[in-house]
Amino acid sequence: MHEYSRQQGALQQNLQKAVSATFREIAPEVADTDMANFLASSDNARRFDLICEDLTPGGTDAYVFYRALSRLSHAGIPVVELYFAKPPAGTVIPPARPHPRTPLGPDFILFLTNASMVWSGRAVNYMTKERGYRGVLRDAARDLEITSELQLSDAYRKRHATARRGARENTLKLATP
């Protein structure tokens, strides 16, 4: 939420500086620009790799999944290479591919989709206290050769314990005359 609010505030500032009067007029309407409620967060959404390290299993593998999928969410070189080949020697204009390349293999997509369904299913299991699907999800996890649930890592626990300790110390300093 802190990162979202930061981005909303940056958007609002850009709109306020815009040449277009239409943009300047809607700047005050940008929602969720107050970061005050989220300043004490010890999580940094700008470093998604570190958030992935908060999960077990997760870590580098989770970050690889994120990178593989997100590289196709913006119109950049990976997307262009799906539709255009490298220019022949001595030319600069890339020729169109007669058939677009497949961005990600079907096995990768099927695995990630199924693993995500197991992990999200277990999260729903915990939130609803519904135990009926637990065995099914464990069986699916076993077939996929994954653990059926994600846990918080020691890195997460250590960072949050340090943040709580720092918050207590700051509170004591403020309370001491």
Tens digit of pLDDT for each residue in 58-93?
888 889 888 888 888 888 888 999 999 999 999 999
Question: Do 92 and 114 fall within a single domain?
Answer: no
Question: Do 1 and 34 fall within a single domain?
Answer: yes
Question: Do 98 and 109 fall within a single domain?
Answer: no
Question: Do 143 and 119 fall within a single domain?
Answer: yes
Question: Do 66 and 111 fall within a single domain?
Answer: no
Q: What pLDDT does residue 41 have?
A: 64
Question: Do 92 and 52 fall within a single domain?
Answer: yes
pLDDT for residue 2 is more than 80: no
What is the DSSP code string of 87-102?
PPTT--SPPBPSSPPP
Q: What pLDDT does residue 146 have?
A: 92
Q: What pLDDT does residue 1 have?
A: 80
- In 3D space, the residue among 15, 9, 115 whose CA is nearest the CA of residue 57 turns out to be 115
Residue 65 belongs to domain spanning? 48-103
Q: What pLDDT does residue 39 have?
A: 66
Flag whether 155 is in a domain. Answer: no
Q: Span 16-26, mean pLDDT?
A: 95
pTM: 0.62
Q: What pLDDT does residue 163 have?
A: 78
Q: What pLDDT does residue 131 have?
A: 76
pLDDT for residue 43 is more than 70: no
- For residue 96, what pLDDT band results from cuts at 50, 70 and 90? very high
Q: How many domains does the chain have?
A: 3
Q: What is the DSSP letter of 112?
A: H
Flag whether 162 is in a domain. Answer: no
Q: What pLDDT does residue 177 have?
A: 64
Flag whether 133 is in a domain. Answer: yes
How many angstroms separate the CA atoms of 115 and 144, rounded? 7
Q: Which residue has the tokens 């677009």?
A: 100
Question: Do 99 and 109 fall within a single domain?
Answer: no
Flag whether 5 is in a domain. Answer: yes
Flag whether 9 is in a domain. Answer: yes
Flag whether 10 is in a domain. Answer: yes
Q: Which of 15-19, 27-31, 56-60 has the lowest mean pLDDT?
A: 56-60
- In 3D space, the residue among 67, 1, 72, 74 whose CA is nearest the CA of residue 40 turns out to be 1
129: left (phi over 0), alpha (psi -120 to 50) or beta: left
What confidence tens digit (pLDDT) does each residue in 120-166 have? Answer: 998 888 888 777 888 999 999 999 999 998 888 998 888 888 878 87
Flag whether 165 is in a domain. Answer: no
What is the DSSP code string of 53-121?
TTEETTHHHHHHHHHHHHTTSSSSHHHHHHHBPPPPTT--SPPBPSSPPPSS-HHHHHHHHHHHHHHHH
